[in-house]
Structure 1
């Protein structure tokens, strides 16, 4: 009976070691290097897009108001 428990313990230790190695492989595959750069690019694109929309709205408003100015 002791041999059976010893065999189970060895089997469990080998399984834990195997699955530990597999999680290391998965973690290396999920390396997030470059995610900060991508995030910064997306924020820059968002800021530029919002700026273009705001500038376009202001330009349209100013042009419409300038049409209302009467020349003397």
Structure 2
């Protein structure tokens, strides 16, 4: 389970870095760039939070099933 979470985190960080690099390379004007960057970071945080919540929920559900 821990390996899975670490893999998800590394993948998410790689995607964020790739998106950030693309935005920086293709920026023609600086107008609105801060807003776009903030939206991307907010989306990434929400995605990571959702993954963590789903992983914790799955773990708790599987452990609760073991209770007799």
* TM-score > 0.5 by shorter chain: yes
Partner residue, 1:27 = none
Matched residue of 1:31: which SS? coil
CA displacement at 1:31 relative to structure 2 = 2.5
Q: Which runs of 5+ in 2 are unaligned?
A: 1-27
Q: Deviations over 1:7-40 (max 9, x none)?
A: xxxxxxxxxxxxxxxxxxxxxxx33110000000
Count of residues paired in the alignment: 41
Structural RMSD (CA): 0.7
What is the aligned counterpart of 1:64 among 62, 65, 68?
A: 62
Greater RCO (CA < 8 Å, at least 6 residues apart): 2
Normalised by the length of structure 2, the TM-score is: 0.58
Q: Which runs of 5+ in 1 are unaligned?
A: 1-29
Normalised by the length of structure 1, the TM-score is: 0.55
Partner residue, 1:40 = 38
CA displacement at 1:47 relative to structure 2 = 0.2
